Amino acid sequence: MSRVTLRGIAKSFGLVQAVKEVSLDIPDHTFVTLLGPSGCGKTTTLNLIAGLEKVTRGEILLDGISITDWAPHERGMAMVFQNYALYPHMNVYENMAFSLKLKKVPKAEIDQRVRQVAKTLEIDQLLDRRVSQLSGGQQQRVALARAMVKEPKVFLFDEPLSNLDAALRTRMRIEIKKLHQQLKTTSIFVTHDQEEAMMLSDFIAVMRDGIVVQYGPAAEIYRRPQHHYVATFIGKPRMGTIDGNLRVDTSSVNFEAKGMKLSWPRGGANMPLMDVPACLGIRAEDVRLLDTNGAASSDTFTGEVGLLEPLGSDTFVEVIRDSMNLTARVEPDRQVHVGDKVAVQLPRNKLHFFESVSGRRIDI
Amino acid sequence: MQMRSLRWARPTLLYALVALFLLWTLAPVLWIFVMSVQPEINYVAVPPQLNLQQVSLRWFWEMLSQQDIRDALRNSLIISFMTMVFCLFFGALAAYPLSRLNMPRKNLFLTLSIMARMIPSMVLIIPLFLLMRDLHLLDTYMALIITYSTFLLPYVIWMMKNFFDQIPYSLEAAARMDGCSRLGAIFRILLPSIAPGVVATAIFAFIGAWNEFLFGLILSTRNSMPIMVKISALVSASFHTDNSLVAATGVLAILPVVVLVFVLNRYIVRGLVEGVKF
C-alpha cells in the first residue's frame, strides 16, 4: 500500500509562487504524470513530495499518514533525475549500494540486491565501471537501478528521459512502462512531453502556473479536456480551434464564427441556455475531409489545403478558411495537394466547446 | 620562398619569447641551486668562476645536521598542513551556504571577506602581535595557523564556492534522498565529486602558508619558527654568513612545494583550468 495524497500544497520562493495550490490523490500502484510546460510548478511539486523542499502550506500524506515534515530519506521514496545525478567519484556498484550502506543493510544483502537489480536492467556488465565511462543511456539505466535497489514505496521521476536522444527515449519509455507493470510501485512522473505522459500514465495531472488544471485518467484527459488549455496542450497535432459565439436557445444550439454557422436541435430541457463567446475545438482524427463536390450539409465547410504533413502512417492536412484553421487526419494514400479546395465535415458529437473568457469546457 | 621563411619566423619568435620569459623567472631559482653546491668563493667572483669539480653536497649535510634547521622545517610542515586542513574544513562549510542557500547579503559577505585580504600585512602586524601576546599565543603553532587562515580562508572560500556552484542541484538532492543529511551530503558526496578542485585549493592554501614570511617573523621566536624565517635568521645570525648554507636551506624550502605541484599537477590543472565536469 502506498497512496500519496496532496492536500492543498503550496510553495513560495520569496515573492514567487511556484506552486499555488495542488491537491491530488494518487492511488496505490498507479502511474501518475504531472504534465505541463516549463515553469508550471511540476518539478517543484515533485520536490515537495520528495521532501527536498518544504511546503509553505498544505499537507502531504503517505498511506494516510502525514509526512509533511519528514526528511527525504524517511519517506521511502526514490527519485530519478533528469541529469541522472550519479555520484561521479563512485563506480556503478557503489552508486547503487550507497543508500543501502547508509541504511546499514548487511553487506551480503546489499550485494544480492544490487546484483539482482543490475541483472533486471541488464547493467550487470557495468558494475565496475566509473560513471564517466558510461553513455547517456547507460547512465540513465544506472540511475533507474539506483532507485530500484531501495525498493521504495514510491518512484519519483523528474523528466528522466529528456536528456536522451529520440530513439533511446522511446526505448527507455517502453522499459519504464514494463518495469511499472512488473513492480506495480506507485510512480509519479514529471514531464513536459504530452506524448510521454499519454503513453506511460494511468492518470495525468495537467498543470499550469502552479495549479492543476485537470486531473484524471489519461484517456479522459484526451477525450474530454475540461479546459481549453488542456485541449490544446494534449494531442498531436494540436487540436484545431475556431473562435466564435455559442448560443443555446429554447429550441436549438448554434455556433457562429466568421464565415460559418453550425446549428442543431437542443439536446434536452436541462441543457442551460446561454449566449457566450466560445471556442470550438476538434481533433484531427475527428475531422472528415470530403471532396468539394460532396453533398453539402449543415456541418460541412469548404476551405483550402495549406500544408501537408505526411508521416507515413497518416497524413495531416491543414485546412484554412477565414478564421478557420483545422487539421484533418487522412489515409496516407489519399491524393491531396497544397492549394486544393476541399470540404471538411465536423461531426457534431466530436466537437468540444470552451468558454472564451475562462477557457472552461461547455458540455453540450 | 618568402612564405616559407615567414612560416618559420612566427614559432621561432614565439619560442624565443617564451625562453626569455622562463629565463627571467627561473634564473634566480637556478642560481640558488648553483649556489647550494658550490663554495662561496666561486660565485661571488665577478665573473663567477663555477667549477664542476668542486660541486659538493656538503652544505646540505651541514644543514641537515643542524637541529634548529630541522626543527624549522618540521614547524613549517606542521603549520602549513594544519593551515591547509583548517582552511579546507571551514572553507567548505562557508562556501556551501554561499553557493547553495538563498541568503540575503551573501554577495556582501563575499566582498567583505576578500576586502579583508586587501589590507597590507604591515598594517596588521602590530595589532596582531598585541592580540597574540594577550592570548599567550606568541611563538606557538596556533598563532601562525590562525593568522595564515585569516588571509587564506577568503581565497579558499571563493574557490570552493565556485566549485560548489558547478555541482548540479540534483546531485545533492540524490544524496539527501539516499539518506544523507545536508552535512553528510557535503562531505560524502559534494566534496569527493569536486576532488580535483579540492586538491587544487588545498595546495594553494598549503603554499600560501608555506611561503609566508612576515607574520612568521614577528609571531615566532624559537619554538614555532618556520623555515622561511629561519633562512633569514641564518643570514643575520653571525659575523660570517655561509651563503652556500643559506642557499642549501633555500633549496630545501623550495622542494616540498615543487614536489607537491609535480605529484598533483594533474589535479591542479584540472581543478583550476577545466573546473569540474558533470
Q: Is residue B5 part of a domain?
A: no
Give A106-154 as a DSSP string: -HHHHHHHHHHHHHHTT-GGGTTSBGGGS-HHHHHHHHHHHHHHT--SE
Statement to judge: residues B238 and B176 lie in one domain: yes
Statement to judge: residues B50 and B121 lie in one domain: no
Please state the three-class secondary structure of chain B as a single string: CHHHHHHHHHHHHHHHHHHHHHHHHHHHHHHHHHHHCCCHHHHHCCCCCCCHHHCCCHHHHHHHHCHHHHHHHHHHHHHHHHHHHHHHHHHHHHHHHHHHCCCCCHHHHHHHHHHHCCCCHHHHHHHHHHHHHHCCCCCCHHHHHHHHHHHHHHHHHHHHHHHHHHCCHHHHHHHHHCCCCHHHHHHHHHHHHCHHHHHHHHHHHHHHHHCCCHHHHHHCCCCCCCHHHHHHHHHHHCCCCCHHHHHHHHHHHHHHHHHHHHHCHHHHHHHHHHCCCC
Quick check: B178 and A102 CB within 8 A? yes
Statement to judge: residues B31 and B114 lie in one domain: no
Q: What is the pLDDT of residue B5?
A: 65
Q: Is residue B43 part of a domain?
A: yes
Q: What is the pLDDT of residue B271?
A: 72
Nearest CA of chain A to the CA of B112: how many Å?
A: 25
Complex ipTM value: 0.83
Nearest CA of chain A to the CA of B260: how many Å?
A: 22
* Identity of the amino acid at B115: M
Helices B243-263 and B67-100: crossing angle, nearest 10°? 30
Q: Which tens digit of pLDDT belongs to each residue from B232-263?
A: 888 877 677 788 889 999 999 998 888 988 88
Q: Closest partner residue to B176 among A13, A73, A86, by Cβ?
A: A73
pLDDT tens, chain A, 364 aa long: 699 999 999 999 988 999 999 999 999 999 999 999 998 999 999 999 999 999 999 999 999 999 999 999 999 999 999 999 999 999 999 999 999 999 999 999 999 999 999 999 999 999 999 998 899 889 999 999 999 999 999 999 999 998 888 888 999 999 999 999 999 999 999 999 999 999 999 999 999 999 999 999 999 999 999 999 999 999 888 899 999 999 998 888 999 888 788 888 887 778 888 999 999 999 999 998 887 665 566 778 888 898 899 988 899 999 888 767 889 999 988 888 888 888 888 888 899 999 999 999 998 7
Helix (H/G/I), strand (E/B), else coil: A230: helix
Q: What is the pLDDT of residue B274?
A: 63
Q: Is residue B150 part of a domain?
A: yes
Statement to judge: residues B164 and B215 lie in one domain: yes
Q: Which tens digit of pLDDT belongs to each residue from B72-114?
A: 999 999 999 999 999 999 999 999 999 988 888 888 988 888 8
Quick check: B179 and A102 CB within 8 A? yes
Q: What is the pLDDT of residue A266?
A: 84
CA atoms within 13 A on the CB side of A169: 15
Q: What is the pLDDT of residue B277?
A: 61
DSSP A364: -
Nearest CA of chain A to the CA of B177: how many Å?
A: 5
The answer on pLDDT for B275 being more than 70 is no
Q: What is the pLDDT of residue B207?
A: 92
Looking at chain A, how many residues does it have? 364
CB atoms within 10 A of CB A261: 11
Closest to A40 measured CA to CA, from A239, A230, A283: A230
For chains A and B, count residue pairs whose Cβ atoms are closer than 8 Å: 57
Q: What is the pLDDT of residue A340?
A: 86
**Containing domain of residue B41, as a range?**
26-56
Closest to A22 measured CA to CA, from A177, A190, A218: A190
Q: Is residue B16 part of a domain?
A: no
Statement to judge: residues B40 and B115 lie in one domain: no
Strand partners, A309: A316
Q: What is the pLDDT of residue B234?
A: 87
Q: Is residue B70 part of a domain?
A: yes
Q: Are A157 and A189 in contact (CB under 8 A)?
A: yes
Q: Is residue B206 part of a domain?
A: yes
Statement to judge: residues B31 and B123 lie in one domain: no
Considering only residues 137 to 156 of chain A, which have any Cβ-Cβ distance to chain B shorter than 8 Å?
146, 150
With a pLDDT cut of 70, the percent of chain A lying above it is 98
Q: Closest partner residue to B177 among A50, A86, A89, by Cβ?
A: A50
Statement to judge: residues B43 and B130 lie in one domain: no
DSSP A269: T
Quick check: B179 and A103 CB within 8 A? yes
Quick check: B102 and A13 CB within 8 A? yes
Q: What is the pLDDT of residue A270?
A: 80
Helix (H/G/I), strand (E/B), else coil: A52: coil
Considering only residues 158 to 177 of chain B, which have any Cβ-Cβ distance to chain A shorter than 8 Å?
168, 170-171, 173-177
Q: Is residue B263 part of a domain?
A: yes
Q: What is the pLDDT of residue A294?
A: 56
* CA pseudo-torsion sign B230, B231, B233, B234: positive
Quick check: B174 and A88 CB within 8 A? no
Residues in chain B closer than 8 A to A71 (CB atoms): 176
Statement to judge: residues B150 and B245 lie in one domain: yes
Residues in chain B closer than 8 A to A14 (CB atoms): 102
pLDDT bracket for residue B270 (50, 70, 90):
confident
Closest to A127 measured CA to CA, from A181, A85, A90: A90
Statement to judge: residues B196 and B262 lie in one domain: yes
CB atoms within 10 A of CB A114: 23
Q: Is residue B3 part of a domain?
A: no
- CATH numbers and ranges of domains, chain A: 4-226 (3.40.50.300), 240-362 (2.40.50.140)
Nearest CA of chain A to the CA of B178: how many Å?
A: 5
Q: Which tens digit of pLDDT belongs to each residue from B198-214?
A: 998 999 999 999 999 99
Q: Where are the alpha helices (DSSP H) in chain A?
A: 42-50, 92-102, 107-120, 136-149, 166-183, 194-200, 218-223, 228-233
Statement to judge: residues B37 and B159 lie in one domain: no
Mean pLDDT of B141-169: 93
Q: Which tens digit of pLDDT belongs to each residue from A78-103?
A: 999 999 999 999 999 999 999 999 99
Q: What is the pLDDT of residue B82?
A: 97
Overall number of domains in chain B: 2
Statement to judge: residues B107 and B82 lie in one domain: yes
Q: What is the pLDDT of residue A293?
A: 61
Statement to judge: residues B33 and B131 lie in one domain: no
Q: What is the pLDDT of residue A303?
A: 85
The answer on pLDDT for B1 being more than 60 is no
Quick check: A88 and B278 CB within 8 A? yes
CATH number, domain of B178, equals: 1.10.3720.10
Give A155-202 as a DSSP string: EEEESTTTTS-HHHHHHHHHHHHHHHHHH--EEEEEES-HHHHHHH-S
